[in-house]
């Protein structure tokens, strides 16, 4: 399964979530991380701690790189650029599932809805004619606040694909690139596990 993280809104936890998902899957699946962001955010990852190999490709050949990794690994997690560029579109076209991280704020929601509109266009394109592209918004850095509940309700009312699982604002997530996946008994680990399970479930539909 090829999962891409896509958002044009900075600070939404896109790269952190990509690392956390890859670290979780690496515990039971052969997993790879692909850094498709020119900012090379994943360069800080301690691969020996994560037990996940990190590859980089921001070139026009990214489609071939994705195909090669998909043939070798059971899970491929792609961190795309934090802005709209042709290479990101190429990565999205080659994905099985695209997650759109979104903080519970009005500004982030606007960007997330624009991303969903783009993904809808890609899903309906000729390139995906025989291979459905699944995608959904996932709330990140979410806390038990009135605004977070209102944002979720707003997205549900808008009828856009929205993950039931959400990711809280936790130090453990930020530390994952250098400290490894959070302890199995932690709330952080549970949140990632629930998200990964839902991803798998939605992909089977």
% of residues, the chain, pLDDT over 70: 96
Does 205 have pLDDT greater than 60? no
Q: What is the pLDDT of residue 85?
A: 62
Domain that holds residue 89: 2-204
- Report helix angle 86-93 to 62-72, nearest 10: 30
pLDDT value of position 131: 82
Q: Work out the angle at residue 39's Cα, subtended by the Cα atoms of residues 33 and 44, and round it to the nearest 5 degrees.
A: 55
pLDDT range class, residue 54, cuts 50, 70, 90: very high
Minimal CA–CA distance to 33: which of 64, 77, 63? 77
Q: What is the pLDDT of residue 87?
A: 63
Residue 82 token pair = 């934090």
pLDDT, average across residues 147-153 = 88
How much is the pTM?
Answer: 0.92
| Rounded Cα distance, 14 and 5, in Å | 6
The mean pLDDT value of the chain amounts to 90
Closest CA to 54 of 21, 76, 29: 76
If one counts the domains in the chain, the total is 1
Mean pLDDT of 64-82: 94
CATH number reported for the structural domain that contains residue 124 in this entry: 3.40.50.300
Handedness of CA 191, 183, 143, 77 (dihedral sign): negative
Query: 139: helix, coil or strand?
Result: strand
Whole-number pLDDT of residue 132: 84
- What digits encode the pLDDT tens for the residues 177-194? 889 999 989 999 999 999
- Check residues 90 and 75 and name the one with the higher pLDDT: 75
**Residue written as token pair 């891409």:** 4
**The token pair that represents 84 in the structure block:** 């709209």
Q: What is the pLDDT of residue 95?
A: 95
Choose among 73, 35, 37: nearest CA to 55: 35
Classify residue 180 as left (phi > 0), alpha (psi -120 to 50) or beta. Answer: left
Averaged pLDDT for residues 34-62? 88
Give the residue from 80, 84, 85, 58 showing the smallest Cα distance to 6. 80
Instruction: Round to the nearest angstrom and report the end-to-end CA distance of the chain.
Output: 14
- Asked if residue 101 has pLDDT above 60, the reply is yes
pLDDT per residue as tens digits for the range 6-15: 998 888 889 9
- For residue 173, the number of C-alpha atoms closer than 13 Å in the C-beta half-sphere is 23
């Amino acid at each position: 399964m090829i999962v891409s993280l896509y958002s044009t809104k900075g600070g939404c936890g896109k790269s952190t979530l990509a690392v956390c998902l890859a670290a979780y899957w690496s515990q039971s699946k052969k997993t790879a991380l692909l850094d498709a962001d020119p900012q090379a955010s994943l360069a800080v990852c301690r691969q020996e701690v994560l037990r996940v190999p990190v590859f980089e490709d921001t070139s026009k050949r990214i489609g071939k790189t994705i195909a090669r990794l998909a043939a070798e690994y059971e899970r491929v997690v792609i961190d795309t650029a934090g802005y709209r560029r042709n290479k990101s579109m190429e990565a999205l076209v080659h994905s099985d599932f695209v997650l759109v991280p979104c903080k519970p704020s009005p500004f982030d929601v606007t960007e997330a809805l624009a991303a969903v509109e783009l993904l809808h266009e890609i899903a309906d394109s000729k390139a995906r004619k025989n291979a459905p592209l699944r995608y959904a918004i996932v709330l990140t850095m979410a806390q038990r606040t009135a605004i977070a509940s209102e944002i979720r309700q707003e997205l549900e009312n808008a009828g856009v694909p929205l993950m039931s699982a959400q990711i809280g604002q936790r130090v453990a997530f930020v530390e994952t690139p250098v400290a490894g996946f959070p302890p199995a008994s932690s709330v952080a680990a549970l949140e990632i596990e629930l998200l990964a399970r839902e991803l798998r479930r939605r992909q089977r539909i």
